[in-house]
């Protein structure tokens, strides 16, 4: 038998091998074998997005389970004879008889600054081909909502850049404002404009797409990239082609990512687009797992899954971080039926709603906000003081105009005061129109709205309103920078500043005045 010679020049690796063998021998001698008890279950059946497992007697609710091939699932139904599992990956690779292993932990996601500018799925896996996520830590997707004594009043405004929202339906940091309307009425557009308006602020944004078409999500991504909004935004995507379990987990995962920033003193805006599809995914899973159906076949706890999600949005007291999480959940209605099951539930949970009208959308009044049916329950408490001075009676005036306009269609004889109300109302409606991707700064909004309420536009033809408005905005930018800065910082609108704004507006609008319709 050959052996290593002792001549080091012939075999220089002899000493190295002897050392390695010595280390291995010492390690083997120190090793003490121990018995580890592991529960292993067996798949009994596989459905579309769910699986049934026998065994696992000690499995806990919502525990993460590991299947063959790296497929993950979440324990959902804990029945005496079997466990109903929500699958978080495609079920086509699973077969009856496959082994299932417990992980001893619940579903969690990565959180931290490394998620800004990234596109991920609800499990935290990157979808943007930009490498792995550099996370600070991992957090469970299910977190307890902050207790009452940790919450602060909602008094700081979150500017959306939309005149119709900031003036009439103010949103505060820590508020939950529902956006609802029929298909193709601009719900996502309102939420996107709110995200774009945070570009020069310290607000972090999270956009959660639930059950959306891939083309629609790609369009949102393109808009965020084009307007330089992706740098401060995290996008969580569970597309319509993804398993319903992934769609169900998406908003909770996105909220955990947002809560990290809130607990570190940051202000966060999160958009859930949309919770109608989230409820439908949960209904699908519940029916597949044979949970008892209720109204419209939704399970009995459909209210709870949304309330426990939205209750996590709040403003924290300074001693608890001082951050805020503002939620803009989106829900889709059918034929403007706000009394349907899911819209009614969400209206009762949130702090107000922005209602988008298909009729206004068809008339070209964009954003198609129905001022009469929209409300912000936080109201002027979360509005800059200057807005309260300018738009105090704006909502009432606009509502009166809409009512008068409906009666005027019958051709009745109108007195001069009524005709003046109609003339001013038509111009006010033109003022509230706004192009998408064009959020407006505070001072320019106030100048235009003040001009509308004080009658500066009364002699401007409706088809020239856009030009007159642009002239006022340009004049404010060029000649009232100090006033604009004061208003943006939240100072009161003084009489002198009001006069300056009105004088600037009159001068800017003068070239556009002309004969008016009778």
Q: At 514, is the pLDDT very low, low, confident or very high (cuts 50, 70, 90)?
A: low
Q: Where in the chain is the domain with CATH 1.20.150.20?
A: 389-512
Taking residues 178-190, report their average pLDDT: 96
List Cβ neighbours of 323 (8 Å cut-off, separation of 6 or more): 261, 262, 263, 264, 265, 266, 267, 268, 315, 316
Q: Name the more confident of 38 and 187.
A: 187
Annotated active-site positions, please? Answer: 377
Comparing 26-30, 164-168, 208-212, 222-226, the range with the smallest average pLDDT is: 26-30
CA angle 212/348/184 to nearest 5° reads 30
For strand 99-106 and strand 119-120, is the pairing parallel, antiparallel, or unpaired? unpaired
CATH 2.40.30.20 residue window(s) in the chain:
40-105
State the pTM of this model.
Answer: 0.90
Q: Higher-confidence residue: 32 or 261? A: 261
pLDDT in tens, 262-273: 999 999 999 999
Domain 109-383: homologous superfamily in CATH = P-loop containing nucleotide triphosphate hydrolases (3.40.50.300)
pLDDT band at 515 (very low <50, low <70, confident <90, very high): very low
Question: Across the chain, what does the average pLDDT equal?
Answer: 90
Count other Cβ atoms within 10 Å, centred on residue 62.
Answer: 16
Q: How confident is the model at residue 33 (pLDDT cuts 50, 70, 90)?
A: confident
- What is the architecture, at CATH level 2, of domain 40-105? Beta Barrel (2.40)
Whether the ω angle into residue 367 lies within 30 degrees of 0, i.e. cis, is yes
pLDDT tens digits, 236-260: 999 999 999 999 999 999 999 999 9
> What's the CA gap between 320 and 153, in Å, rounded?
14
Q: Quote the pLDDT of residue 517.
A: 42
Q: Which residues of the chain form CATH 3.40.50.300?
A: 109-383
- Residue-level pLDDT at 12: 56
Mean pLDDT for 125-148 is 93
Which architecture characterizes domain 389-512 according to CATH?
Up-down Bundle (1.20)
Between residues 400 and 218, which one has the greater pLDDT?
Answer: 218
pLDDT score of 270: 98
Identify the pLDDT of residue 362. Answer: 94
Report the pLDDT value the prediction gives residue 280, as an integer from 0 to 100: 97
Distance of CA 378 to the CA centre of its chain: 19
Tell me the per-residue pLDDT of 186-213, one tens digit each, with 9 for 90 and over: 999 999 999 999 998 999 999 999 999 9
pLDDT in tens, 425-443: 889 999 999 999 999 999 9
């Amino acid at each position: 038998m050959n052996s290593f010679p002792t001549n080091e020049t012939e075999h220089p690796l002899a000493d190295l091998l002897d050392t390695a063998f010595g280390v291995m021998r010492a390690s083997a001698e120190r090793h003490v074998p121990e018995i580890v008890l592991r529960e292993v279950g067996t798949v009994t059946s596989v459905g579309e997005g769910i699986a049934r497992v026998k065994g696992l007697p000690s499995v806990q609710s919502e525990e993460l389970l590991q299947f063959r091939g790296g497929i993950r699932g979440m324990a959902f139904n804990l029945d005496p004879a079997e466990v109903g599992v929500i699958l978080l990956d495609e079920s086509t690779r699973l077969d009856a008889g496959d082994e299932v292993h417990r992980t001893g932990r619940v579903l969690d996601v990565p959180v931290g600054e490394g998620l800004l500018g990234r596109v991920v799925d609800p499990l935290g896996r990157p979808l943007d081909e930009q490498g792995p996520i550099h996370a600070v830590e991992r957090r469970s997707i299910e977190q307890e909502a902050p207790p009452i004594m940790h919450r602060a009043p909602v008094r700081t405004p979150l500017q959306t850049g939309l005149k119709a929202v900031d003036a009439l339906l103010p949103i505060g940091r820590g508020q939950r404002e529902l956006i609802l309307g029929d298909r193709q009425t601009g719900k996502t557009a309102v939420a996107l404009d709110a995200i774009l308006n945070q570009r020069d602020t310290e607000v972090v944004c999270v956009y959660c797409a639930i059950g959306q078409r891939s083309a629609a999500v790609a369009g949102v991504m393109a808009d965020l990239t084009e307007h330089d909004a992706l740098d401060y935004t995290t996008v969580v995507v569970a597309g319509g082609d993804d398993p319903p379990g992934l769609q169900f987990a998406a908003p909770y995962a996105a909220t955990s990512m947002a809560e990290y920033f809130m607990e570190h003193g940051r202000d966060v805006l999160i958009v859930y687009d949309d919770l109608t599809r989230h409820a439908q995914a949960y209904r699908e899973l519940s029916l597949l797992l044979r949970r008892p159906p209720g109204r419209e076949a939704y399970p009995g706890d459909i209210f709870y899954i949304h309330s426990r999600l939205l209750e996590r949005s709040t403003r924290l007291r300074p001693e608890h971080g001082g951050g805020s999480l503002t939620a803009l959940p989106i829900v889709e209605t059918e034929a403007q039926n706000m009394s349907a099951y899911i819209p009614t539930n969400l209206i009762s949970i949130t702090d107000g709603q922005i209602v988008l009208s298909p009729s206004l959308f068809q008339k070209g009044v964009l954003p198609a906000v129905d001022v009469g049916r929209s409300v912000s329950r936080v109201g002027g408490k979360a509005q800059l003081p200057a807005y309260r001075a300018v738009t105090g009676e704006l909502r009432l005036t606009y509502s009166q105009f809409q009512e008068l306009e409906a009666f005027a269609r019958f051709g009745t004889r109108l007195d001069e005061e009524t005709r003046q109300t109609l003339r001013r109302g038509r111009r006010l409606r033109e003022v509230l129109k706004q192009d998408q991707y064009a959020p407006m700064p505070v001072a320019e909004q106030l100048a235009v709205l003040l001009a509308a309420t004080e009658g500066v536009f009364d002699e401007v033809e409706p088809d020239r309103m856009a030009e007159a408005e642009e002239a006022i905005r340009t004049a404010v930018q060029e000649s009232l920078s100090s006033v604009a800065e004061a208003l943006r910082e939240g100072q009161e609108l003084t009489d002198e500043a009001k006069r300056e704004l009105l004088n600037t507006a009159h001068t800017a609008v003068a070239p556009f005045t002309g004969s008016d319709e009778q």
